[in-house]
Structure 1
Amino acid sequence: MEKRFLNEWRFSKQEEKEAWTKDFDDSTWEKVTIPHDWGVSYPFEKHFSSGTGYLPGGIGWYRTKQSLQALGDLTNKVVKIHFEGVYKNARVWINGYHMGMRPSGYASFYYDLTEILTYNSDDSLLISVRVEHTDLADSRWYNGNGITRPVSLEIHDSIYIDEYGTSFSTPCVTDQQAELVIEHRLVNTLKQDRVVRIEQMLESLQTEKVMNISQEIQLNAGERRTVTLKAKIEKPELWSPEVPNLYQLRTKLSYQEESLKENESVYNEYVGIRSFQFDVNEGFSLNGQQLKIKGVCLHEDAGSFGTAVPMEVWVRRLIKLKEMGANAIRMAHNPHSFALYRLCDTMGFLVFDEAFDEWENPKNKWWQGHNVYPPKLEGAAEHFPTWYEKDLENMILRNRNHPSIIAWSIGNEIDYPNDPYASPLFAEMTGNNDNSKPEAERIYNPHRPDMRRLRTIAEKLVRLSKTLDPTRPVTLAAAFPELSTKIGLIDHLDVVGYNYKEHLYEEDHRKFPDKPFIGSENSHGFKEWQTANTLPYIAGQFLWTGIDYLGEAHGWPIHGSGAGLLTLAGIEKPSYYKRKSWWSQEPTVYLTTIPYEKNKRRAEWEPTYRKWSYPAEQEIEVRCYTNAKEVRLKVGNLEVPNVRYDDTFGYYVARINYQPKTLSVEAVFEETILHDEIRPEAAPTALVAMNYEIPQRWREKLAATDLTLNKNLHQIECQVLDYAENPIAAEVMVYLEVENGTLLGLENGDLADTTAYTESFRRTMQGKLLCFVAGARKKETVVTLRSPGLPDTRLILKNREGST
């Protein structure tokens, strides 16, 4: 099978009459590269929806023309076009023929072009796509606009493996032997029967050990048939987050044409061998060893890229999460891009894959700020009754061969009371877990849809999931289990996910002794982590969230959620280092400060600062995030007394009257002493810039699984310095000029900064800024950064032909 990506398109962000016709003139349209999110190409505006980040939607058209001759000889070939994701309501025409539509912006879909191409009067293949996202408040977060994921042409022989037609499973695994079951759904488009030889090769990417099996079958004319191959492999190289061993699964189909010419086609997948279990008493185990899940929830946008996120940006982010100690990701609240799953396989993250945020009735969509009434009631629920089976099938069949995926989630917070479902039992309760809502929203409303309906839908979704993939458990993320467990919502689940609600773990473990539990969404507190970590029957937790995201904003000018450990720029917050001190096995230490206020109760969510510049003698609370058993804190050369470990919040703390001398700490470990310090800030005197380089070991691992990195996409990290070359948190305006390249965007992580992403200037936040630049091939790209009052910074970037 040959795959060709269709990257270059023309785009118009308006309704276009008859743009589906083959002879339509699109010469004045904008040239864009797919993946493409048009939303971030426009300014933030207050009249748009806060839920979707104050960015526009609308109607957009895409068109591309391809040469059929360039595709080679298509005789006896099957040609398909594959869309990985279009947000949303995509309608597709090929050479003027309407192929169909797909409402979901997260589902991948394809069309068979074989017959259409036989009607061609010329050499051209013209593809037209209409995207409609006019219901701006259709989601609780930003979902993007347009063809936000790759598009490709697939050229198959007449006998081929159907779309998502390969299944790889390991029903029995030990460190000595693994049983393999490989299934292929084969399609014969010929009008004659054929004997087909299936040659299966499983090659280790680590040791290059190879296992071969083969089988011959007769495939009748026009037949579709699932063929099963079984084998055993000795001493398998097991996949885990710590050692993500992978195999290449290479399938060769061969048969004779009428001319007696041997016809061969090859299909590749990357798979892993592992076993796992969710146990009602022992929690989660992988390859026979107990493992606590340390997960983060992620939405799929990345600031200036919207949801059309380059893989290189994800790699940088995932490396940081990996170094923090995270070993799992929950794909909130929809299937994500193919590349992200492959990265999880390759880099070593367990995955909870999630299908829906709402079922047949819409949730509240906040458009004037979070919990500001009245909400709008638009969104994916409109299409759920018609499309849920196809959308769920698409997610599971597309993703089932990823070793990283350990559970299918059929929904997120579907049971949120009065949003929209209600129950008479609610009248007996004191309220739900969102006390900021008006009182009318916190009492039973008999005019809402009845909550008992959820059990019926859940049963259908679980049954379908099990039919499509019997090898993984099915779960959901429950928001109000006090109520939903009473109406049977969790009865058919294999694993029960609670969003927050840690106080119910022990009680519900006793009430439902046949159910394994996990924290499917959790806040960042030490108490919440300790609860999950110390109760053996809790599989782990998923923090809300790992990275800040656009949308779900509290109100203008805030246009995103700051719930992450990393900012939108992928820059570590102090909370990142706090979490690292709890999750990572590597020695770590990090200082942060906050003005002390007497009688003010400390909160997990309050921001702290990487700075040591305050009014003289102001009382400052110093916090030290470390996994060391002993610390020595100093101001200047004097050691600070009364440094104590606060086991309520999980860090060392001391209160100091500010002095303009270096604040430092020594963290004492068994075999080493780590040092950290913050110096009093002086005025900014320089801006430094460094091109982020993905470490070579990750480049090699990604290349081994055909994850091609763009060598000419540059992520430039900028930092403000003082006269002593110390990094400082100064906010300065930065102007960028790019020679022999293109500025793709600037991101500082400030969710209140409404500077349009198309601008070539942005101020730093906490002294930092991230710049994305596409270099020109075979030329040096020169980036000049200017900031008033500071010397210009010039960075020369080497570019190369091709990728790695």
Structure 2
Amino acid sequence: MRKVIDWNRDWLFVKGSWQNTDVSSPIDEQVKADGTGFTCEKVNLPHTWYTDEDYYQGEAVYQKKFEYMKSKDTRTYIKFYGVDKVCRIYLNGTEIGGHEGGYNIFALELTDALITGTNLLTVLVSTDKKLHVSPISGDFAVFGGIHRKVELVETGVDCFDTAYYGCDGVIVQTRVSEDGKGEVWGRTEISLTDENKKYKVRYSLTNNGKESLSNDHNSDTQLFSKTYSIEELNRSFSNANEISNLAEHKFTLKKVLELDSPIFWNGLDDAHLYTMTVSLLADGEEVDSVTKEVGFRRIAMDADKGFFLNGEHVKLHGVAKHQDSCGVFSAATMDNWKEDMGLIHEIGANAVRFSHYPHPQEVYSLCDSMGFVVWAEIPMLKLPEDDELFENAKVQLKEMILQNMHHPSICFWGIQNEIAIYGEFPYMAEKMHVLNDLVHELDGTRFSTCANLNVVHSDSTLNQVTDTTAYNIYYGWYYGEFADHGKFLDEFHKVNPAMPLGISEYGADTNTVYHSDDPKVNDYSEEFQALYHETVYPMMAQRDFVWGSFVWNMFDFTSPVRGAANIKKRNIKGLVTFDRKTRKDSFYYYKAMWSKDPFVSIAGKRYVNRAYEAMTVKVYSNQESVTLEAAGKEYIERTVNGSAVFKDIPLTMGKNKIVARAGEVSDHTIFNRVEEPDKSYVYVDQNPGLNVRNWFLDEESEAQLFPEGYLSIRSTINDLLASKEATAVIDKRMPDVGKELRDMVGTFTLEKFFFYAKPDYTEEEMKALNAELTKIKA
């Protein structure tokens, strides 16, 4: 029978070139060419080598020495839940395999290379940017390392093939028929040894520990008691005495169970789950089994009305999140995931977009049990004409779907995010059609989707590939005005009336130490982030044809190229800070709009010092009205768009206690009236970088600095990188900038890059670079 062993303790780790490593000997005993030894670190998994001080992109080595007693009756596998992002694996000096892609599960068989006694497992890991493995760009960190757990799996010689696409040899999908019956469709990949034995596969479905249905499938019976023969499964015994698939190019599932009246998985209302156990029998004896949690639900989409779950319309209001947590980055554990999902539940979201790559199995399982609708996706963020990169994307997509299609929470498979950010080209839609077809071949029960950005026009062919389309839009933050959100939505629906539209990202950055009574874009105040969300979210919520929206982001996350608002290495658009300790005011806005749990929360609590006689107090709440108590008086206001606003609340010098109540819930805070405005609340850029407006006095001098038909710092990164002459100039004058540009947003201008990244160059040096670029024809 299958035995799973925790394999996460007592590893050795060292950064360094693979070429310098002898995979057949312990790394801590090896001597480098210069005569020195390796400086090894003892680590437990999961582990990442990333630190904010050292964004190392390169090669590293992990090793584990272990004792083992080999048995002729046992097959042994090692199962990795995520190695970021490319690895080669050796056992006792023999290469046993590898994997390309940092986020999906994979397993390798160790049996033949194992010995009785001391064994040495070596894992070579690389995040080298030259690798043809996605992601090759993105506004997030590729952390590196064995950043998810590892297991040693022992089975009998007859077993489900643990190594098959990381699925443990068992793939399960549920459906609901037109007449409301629950169907289980399955596929097994099996490794067998004896042609004379009679093998069966049994599917058992239990509900709260009670068996609902159990079918033994054999060649002697029909329908529910049918067992698929070797021929029926398109398989035969191979020379290695393993079952091989004779029709690998065509993926198929077979209906194995049918349940007359299933209890539906119904999102937040009732996330009902069943337990599916698939067992392998040899001559009537169970020799292996795999268990998965499943659920039955029906989903539909209407371009005018939106998303439907089990026949009922559900407006998806959700958040997006990255994988990293404070202190551990991508090497997060169940405690981190439970904390995150608890906060998402608190805010009242009913959907989660897990960006921009597959997340751990445990996270999807949490969503199954908590009732969140999930968008899962592969890390396709840049798509050059690179066949090797594209073939890897197909593998990552297949792994993600096969490993996760049993999760009822997953309703969307995402195949790309902002691939046109470096320019839109005809081949992109062609390749996306290939990925879209692969989604439908593997899993026709869910929607394919994508995330385009604002430079992709409504009539683009990229909007005609997937079942649904979504957009990342930032009107009022990076470009345009708040009102442009609504204009964009209406224009898209007019051009594409048959294409369901969602919003996959929208948001604004804030540092919660900054505050303003008159918030403006780029002041990074908590009040501006709140104003942004309070203004743009209703535009999505009020349009039925927008099937859903996902706030970018639920949590601040790691982005090594960022440095906004004096917070280094973070994208700070989160509704919650990176350490999960602070719920920003915008968090409470969405809680007011989404959550059913009664609450009140006074806004601006961190904006304590106020230099005026009277102030406006805003209270977020999902109750009809709020009562405010201040200086012995009560004020009552109705709640509109998630908040009750109280104007002209008098302040006396010193501390002023404010209490907000609605029914049984309350909140309180202290505002301190002071003589002079507190300047610490105002964001002052300590490294203002580039301010081109100071370079010219009028339009004529501006035209001389940036002549038409020539390159300049106002050219897009795409245009600059397309010119060998321009890249040579940049690399010569600012080599670190040249390096960063190759990983940056292609539709950004160099001027905008200087504004956000703030490289360590003087304005005169930037002027000199611009002068050289303007000698090059565009």
Q: So what's the TM-score if we normalise by structure 2?
A: 0.71
Per-residue Cα deviation, 1:147-169 (whole angstroms, up to 9, x for no partner): 10111222233333333243333
Correspondence for 1:497: 470
Per-residue Cα deviation, 1:744-787 (whole angstroms, up to 9, x for no partner): xxxxxxxx9xxxxxxxxxxxxxxxxxxxxxxxxxxxxxxxxxxx
Correspondence for 1:559: 569
CA-CA distance at 1:407 after TM superposition:
0.6
CA-CA distance at 1:241 after TM superposition:
2.5
Distance 1:303 1:622, change over 3 A: same
Correspondence for 2:647: 654
- Work out the CA distance in 1 between the residues paired with 2:304 and 2:391: 39
Correspondence for 1:635: 630
Correspondence for 1:460: 434
Correspondence for 1:132: 126
Distance 1:102 1:200, change over 3 A: closer
Among candidates 593, 617, 623, match of residue 622 of structure 1: 617
Per-residue Cα deviation, 1:32-73 (whole angstroms, up to 9, x for no partner): 111001213xxx44xx6xxxxxx334432110122222xxx6
Task: State the AA in 1 paired with 2:603.
Answer: T
Distance 1:238 1:173, change over 3 A: farther
Task: State the AA in 2 paired with 1:96.
Answer: G
Correspondence for 1:761: none
Task: State the AA in 1 paired with 2:667.
Answer: D
Correspondence for 2:13: 11
Task: State the AA in 2 paired with 1:480.
Answer: N
Per-residue Cα deviation, 1:641-662 (whole angstroms, up to 9, x for no partner): 8x67665x85524244532454
- Work out the CA distance in 2 between the residues paired with 1:135 and 1:681: 51
2:621–2:639 contact (8 Å) kept in structure 1? no
1:210 equivalent in alignment to 2:218: no
Per-residue Cα deviation, 1:409-441 (whole angstroms, up to 9, x for no partner): 10111122xx2x24xxxxxxxxxxxxxxxxxxx
2:159–2:190 contact (8 Å) kept in structure 1? yes
1:636–1:661 contact (8 Å) kept in structure 2? no
Task: State the AA in 2 paired with 1:238.
Answer: F
Matched residue of 1:408: which SS? Answer: strand
1:234 equivalent in alignment to 2:260: yes
Correspondence for 1:338: 361
- Work out the CA distance in 1 between the residues paired with 2:657 and 2:380: 46
- Work out the CA distance in 1 between the residues paired with 2:237 and 2:127: 43
Residues 575-590 of structure 1 mapped to structure 2, 5 A cutoff: 575-590=586-601
Distance 1:32 1:172, change over 3 A: same
- Work out the CA distance in 2 between the residues paired with 1:142 and 1:413: 17
- Work out the CA distance in 2 between the residues paired with 1:539 and 1:561: 26
Distance 1:185 1:673, change over 3 A: closer
Task: State the AA in 1 paired with 2:558.
Answer: L
Task: State the AA in 1 paired with 2:81.
Answer: E
- Work out the CA distance in 1 between the residues paired with 2:109 and 2:176: 37
Distance 1:87 1:634, change over 3 A: same
Residues 337-416 of structure 1 mapped to structure 2, 5 A cutoff: 337-361=360-384, 384-416=389-421
Among candidates 218, 221, 234, match of residue 237 of structure 2: 221
- Work out the CA distance in 1 between the residues paired with 2:661 and 2:253: 59
1:154 equivalent in alignment to 2:153: yes
Instruction: Provide the alpha-carbon RMSD of the alignment.
Output: 3.0
Distance 1:646 1:201, change over 3 A: closer
2:556–2:578 contact (8 Å) kept in structure 1? yes
Residues 106-505 of structure 1 mapped to structure 2, 5 A cutoff: 106-117=103-114, 120=115, 122-135=116-129, 139-162=138-161, 163=164, 164=167, 165-172=169-176, 177-190=180-193, 192-205=195-208, 208-216=210-218, 217=227, 218-219=229-230, 220-222=236-238, 223-224=243-244, 228-239=254-265, 240-256=267-283, 262=285, 264-361=287-384, 384-416=389-421, 419=422, 421-422=423-424, 451-480=425-454, 483=457, 485-500=458-473, 501-505=485-489
Among candidates 664, 668, 673, match of residue 677 of structure 1: 668
- Work out the CA distance in 2 between the residues paired with 1:135 and 1:619: 56
CA-CA distance at 1:532 after TM superposition:
2.4
Matched residue of 1:532: which SS? Answer: helix
CA-CA distance at 1:488 after TM superposition:
1.1
CA-CA distance at 1:476 after TM superposition:
0.2
- Work out the CA distance in 2 between the residues paired with 1:6 and 1:351: 30
Matched residue of 1:493: which SS? Answer: coil
Matched residue of 1:140: which SS? Answer: coil
Q: What 5-or-longer segments of structure 2 have no aligned partner?
A: 30-38, 131-135, 219-226, 231-235, 246-251, 474-484, 508-531, 674-679, 681-685, 687-778
CA-CA distance at 1:465 after TM superposition:
1.2
Q: What 5-or-longer segments of structure 1 have no aligned partner?
A: 49-54, 363-380, 423-450, 594-608, 683-730, 732-751, 753-804
Q: So what's the TM-score if we normalise by structure 1?
A: 0.68
Matched residue of 1:304: which SS? Answer: coil
1:177–1:232 contact (8 Å) kept in structure 2? no
User: Higher strand proportion, which one?
Assistant: 1
User: Higher helix proportion, which one?
Assistant: 2
- Work out the CA distance in 1 between the residues paired with 2:455 and 2:405: 29
Among candidates 549, 553, 557, match of residue 545 of structure 1: 553
Correspondence for 2:56: 56
- Work out the CA distance in 1 between the residues paired with 2:368 and 2:601: 30
- Work out the CA distance in 2 between the residues paired with 1:60 and 1:303: 23
Correspondence for 2:527: none
Tell me which moved more, 401-410 or 581-590: 581-590
Tell me which moved more, 207-216 or 304-313: 207-216
1:32 equivalent in alignment to 2:43: yes
CA-CA distance at 1:229 after TM superposition:
4.1
Per-residue Cα deviation, 1:106-129 (whole angstroms, up to 9, x for no partner): 233222223323xx3x42332101
Distance 1:322 1:64, change over 3 A: same
